[in-house]
Amino acid sequence: KTLKDLGDLKGKRVLVRADFNVPLKGTTITDDGRIRAALPTIKNLRDQGAKVIVMAHLGRPKGKVVPELSLAPVAQRLGELLGTKVPLAKDTYGDDAQAKVAAMADGDVILLENVRFNPEETSKDDAERSAYAKKIAALGEAFVSDGFGVVHRAQGSDYDVAADLPAAAGLLVQKEVDALSRGTENPSRPYTVILGGSKVSDKLGVIENLLDKADRLVIGGGMVFTFLKAQGYEVGSSLLEEDQVDKVKGYIETARKNGVELVFPTDVVVNKGFPSGDTPIDPKVVPADAIPSDMMGLDIGPDSCKLFHDKIVDSKTVVWNGPMGVFEVPQFAEGTKAVAQGLVDATAAGAFTIVGGGDSASAVRNLHFPEDGFSHISTGGGASLEFLEGKELPGLKVLE
């Protein structure tokens, strides 16, 4: 169901679940991409004359009130972006939320405090979660699910509230589903998927699912060392998931059988450990099959940057999830930049390109790539991965 299915919303109290789980340094938002992505739905509802009650989570406070995880900086930023004041209720459904909702005029927007301050939000007990969701639902007359980043979770403020009120997908959820579907249903070929990030175990499902869909899998980031190890290389002190090596060997075997091209880095940028106070940044480039035993791989090397870029540009559909290295440190950001540039160049050449995952999306913005250089930058982390895995996502299912 989409916004139109909710009918005329003038004067109606509409609850909107957004994903405002933004990176923070203290109280400063370092990437407001997820807040900006929610604006079309909020503006649409305001234009219709609805009273817009937004709810969201921030971090994982585990059911406790953690002041550092208050949505106050988000309310402030949302207000700036909308050009209106967005009051923050002190609670999610308590006295303050109810009073603030009662005082709303048509077109007003308020934000409820972090839904995860309530232990029931993430409870595994369906009855407990549902009783809590009813208290939230009582604040509104309709529900719009626009937090794409949480639709893979069956949590109170999304999944359960949707079952209590007339509910529909917001414009962001619709846009995400349309774009990501192009990566899963009949993609134009060659179809290349680039996977990075630190953990192979987070990406097992998506890798398995892609072995009979993608034409080419390009692997970098911390997870690549498990792939290098599976091919018999030594990886020094690089990140390694020893318990996944056998599984990864199986994937390499299946890829070969299915004719899926696997692309690994041929060289790696290494450092004597993860850069921190005691460990200075002193990068060296070494061949991927000759990483010294006392060195840690922190990025793909310059030859690999060129290789990855060329493979990406030679594609008609590209999905990228996970940075190639420790991109927050400029000396280890080149791999991630090369991949981002590859997507920008592929887009310019007519390919359909998707950046999926919280980290890759933040990397693109923090490394100053133009957002319109990509066909779609997903706001989902786990959600976009699970979508690409072909899993049924509870937060979408409940809207059908």
Annotated binding-site residues read 19-21, 34, 57-60, 116, 153, 203, 297, 328, 357-360
Determine how β-strand 284-287 pairs with β-strand 261-263: unpaired
Using CB under 6 A as the binding rule, whether residue 379 contacts ligand 3PG is answered as no
356 binds ligand 3PG (CB under 6 A): no
Is there binding between residue 216 and ligand 3PG (CB under 6 A)?
no
By the rule CB under 6 A, 364 interacts with ligand 3PG: no
290 three-state secondary structure:
coil
Of the residues 196, 220, 358, 373, which is catalytic? 358
Tell me how many helices (H) and strands (E) the chain has: 15, 16
Answer whether 299's CB lies under 8 Å from 269's CB: yes
CB atoms within 10 A of CB 7: 11
Q: Angle at Cα 211 formed by Cα 210 and Cα 214, nearest 5°? A: 60
8 A C-beta contact, residue 176 and residue 378: yes
The mark string for 2-21 relative to ligand 3PG (x by CB under 6 A, - otherwise) is -----------------x-x
196 is catalytic: no
Question: Per-residue string for binding with ligand 3PG, 41-80, x by CB under 6 A?
Answer: -------------------x--------------------
Residue given tokens 């779609």 in the structure block: 376
The yes or no reply on residue 153 touching ligand 3PG (CB under 6 A) is: yes
C-alpha 12/C-alpha 173 separation (Å) is 21
Q: Which is it for strands 191-195 and 317-321: parallel, antiparallel or unpaired?
A: parallel
CB of 206 to ligand 3PG, least distance (A): 14
* 358 lies in the binding site for ligand 3PG (CB under 6 A): yes
Query: Residue 151's Cα: distance from chain center in Å?
Result: 11
Number of residues that bind ligand 3PG (CB under 6 A): 9
Check residue 386 for interaction with ligand 3PG (CB under 6 A). no
R_g of the chain computed on alpha carbons: 22
149 binds ligand 3PG (CB under 6 A): yes
Nearest approach, Cβ of residue 147 and ligand 3PG (Å): 7
Q: Does 156 bind ligand 3PG (CB under 6 A)?
A: no
Catalytically active residues are 34, 199, 358, 382
